[in-house]
Structure 1
Amino acid sequence: MSPATVPPRPGAPEWDGELIVTEREVVADGVVMIALGCPDGSPLPRWDPGAHVDLVLAPTIIRQYSLCGDPGDRASWRIAVLREPESRGGSRLVHDSLIAGSTVRVRGPRNNFPLVDADRYLFIAGGIGITPIRTMIAAAEAAGREWTLLYGGRTRGAMAFLNDFDDRAPTWASSASGRVVVTPQDEAGLLDLDAHLGAPDPGAVVYCCGPEGLLDAVESKCATWPPGSLHVERFRPRGDAQSSASRFQVELRRSARTITVERDRSILQTLENAGVDVLTSCEEGTCGTCMVPVLDGIPDHRDSVLTGAERASGEQILVCVSRSHSPTLVLDL
């Protein structure tokens, strides 16, 4: 299916259609890289480092995976997926069902983790969190910017794309030497965050992707850094995403309707029950698909996508998990 056959809808991702698996490669213990292309050879939309796509693996199973290939490659999109022992079905389906020649519906790309311009970058990756970081490092290198990578994992064998970054690898011998710290937990323990985050660096930004424990630790270490220094991407929702709350009203400005969101229902569920079509995917506040403009009111943000500044502005809300601090929330719907 060609991108031109699926015209974009307002608020929809750039592209939505069937792609074919053109390559499949095991890149670490339990990690498979999948290359996806258009069956008719049509070029895919461009994307920037940090972008992800949705894979519609089953009617009720939609998962987000970071693009980890070359943004300039219009022939294929590449993702790397870790088989999760406690998978809800997504990683299992990717590993067991997506073989060369099979097709899967894909939506995107979408970018909630964009690479901002900076003098220096500190990249921190834990396990499969290396996937978006990989493309960011390539972009920083191409721009001639200073960068450092802290890459941790359970074992060397479980760390995807390690040969790209290990300073013993010939492909990065000249550019990565001294800038990459590879820390397999079974050999050296946890990443030494204090050595790199102990003192704020006003000219640097920090990008971190990985398990929740690593993200929490990095957020704590960066608490004294200048605002906007830290950028994180989460695989799972924050712990407060499903906390209890009071009922409130949602006014739909364009629809001239007002609906009540009960204590035990999300804004998204209430909108869907009222027949209001909102594009959604993860329903956990981690993908950004259901982001809606806020015209008035005070959002109670419970997502894992918006930055601190974006939350403070109150201009957007992820309706799958967030609620309202004010009695009425006015949305551009």
Structure 2
Amino acid sequence: MSNTPRNDAAEVRAVVAEISPAATGVVSVRLEPAVGDKMPSWEPGAHVDLVLGPDLERQYSLCGDPADLRSWRIGVLREPESRGGSSHVHDNLVVGDEVRCRGPRNNFSLDDADDYVFIAGGIGITPILPMIGACEAAGKPWRLVYGGRAEDSMAFRSELAAYGDRVTIWPQDTRGLLDLDGLLGTPAPGTEIYCCGPGALLDAVEERCANWPDGALHLERFRPKEGALDGENSAFEVVLDYSDISIMVAPDQTVAEAIEAAGVHIPTSCREGTCGTCETVVLEGEPDHRDSYLTPQEKESNEVMMPCCSRSCSARLVLDL
């Protein structure tokens, strides 16, 4: 295990070049470099952090063409219960505004496989779009089932129409819930499944894939799993091995907050265990994993944890920070 401190992703200054409707309640935002003529390179599944203001930082999947570095594209849904990010993009962001971006980061990368099944729910289509493009370029077989509340709320349908019957548009108001049993009922060795969307969809897909080979299912969550952040909060000690500092984490503090209060920088973004930005190596102790990012196998190994939300089952944790 490395004793090298973790580094933040690069910060990029970008200018809003275009904002256009992508569906009812969804806008497509195109960002161009504020300095130079190229944006940083990225691969399908990557996301960026948009710094929209003080204490207002949100993650959005890149959904354009990775080969076109003249700009980045994101899709932003107006969230009914917005914490400030989506409402800011929809109501305040205008062409010409400069925004700071961090990244790209990729916690949802496209593995090599014989075949692919893509399942998207609502705005979860955004990371899937460049994955489909990559499959097309590589000549890989794939299919997409894309669900949403109603057809007019489902973004980027015109782009998907070019793929013909490999894409199934499934509006809930006319077709009901996705037929996941028909889609996933029989495991197919060599096929990998990529799913992004609301938590209920991801939970249902995860349940249907219990009998699939390990590693076949790939999920990206926008929100924590139901109950993931719950649990008893008690005080415990955290030792930062690289910094040679010992701190106490109070019951009303997260590990990340206690580390920051001690003057040690730790990269964070979502602060709720979904993005993977703060992933930290555990050298000693047993974490109380409350994230929605690590796989069950990764949690069982206790090799890493998410200090933004997870706590400790042991009285002492030693972290590689």
Q: Which secondary structure does the structure 2 equivalent of 1:249 belong to? A: strand
1:209 aligns with 2:200: no
Aligned to 1:56: 51
Deviation per residue, 1:75-115 (Å, 9 max, x gap): 11110001112111110100112211111111111111111
Greater Cα offset, 53-62 or 295-304: 295-304
1:123 aligns with 2:96: no
- Residue pairs, 1:40-79, within 5 angstroms: 40-79=35-74
Structure 2: segments with no counterpart, 5+ residues: none
Greater Cα offset, 78-87 or 247-256: 247-256
AA aligned to 2:257 is Q
Q: Which secondary structure does the structure 1 equivalent of 2:145 belong to? A: strand
Q: CA deviation at 1:220?
A: 0.9
1:94 aligns with 2:89: yes
Q: CA deviation at 1:315?
A: 2.2
Aligned to 2:163: 172
Distance 1:13 1:150 in 2: 35
Distance 1:297 1:82 in 2: 40
Aligned to 2:313: 325
Aligned to 2:220: 233
Contact 2:5–2:320 (CA<8 Å) still a contact in 1?
A: no
Aligned to 1:271: 259
| Aligned residue pairs, count | 317
AA aligned to 1:12 is N
1:254 aligns with 2:242: yes
Aligned to 2:16: 21
How much is the aligned-residue C-alpha RMSD, in angstroms? 1.6
Q: Which secondary structure does the structure 1 equivalent of 2:277 belong to? A: coil
Q: CA deviation at 1:129?
A: 0.3
Aligned to 1:83: 78
Distance 1:116 1:310 in 2: 18
Q: CA deviation at 1:258?
A: 1.8
Contact 1:41–1:75 (CA<8 Å) still a contact in 2?
A: no
Q: CA deviation at 1:10?
A: 5.6
Q: Which secondary structure does the structure 1 equivalent of 2:74 belong to? A: strand
AA aligned to 2:301 is S
Contact 1:15–1:45 (CA<8 Å) still a contact in 2?
A: no
Distance 2:118 2:208 in 1: 14
Distance 2:204 2:171 in 1: 17
Q: Which secondary structure does the structure 1 equivalent of 2:210 belong to? A: helix
Contact 1:244–1:264 (CA<8 Å) still a contact in 2?
A: no
Greater Cα offset, 61-70 or 283-292: 283-292
Deviation per residue, 1:193-252 (Å, 9 max, x gap): 010111222221111110111111111111121211111111111222242233322111
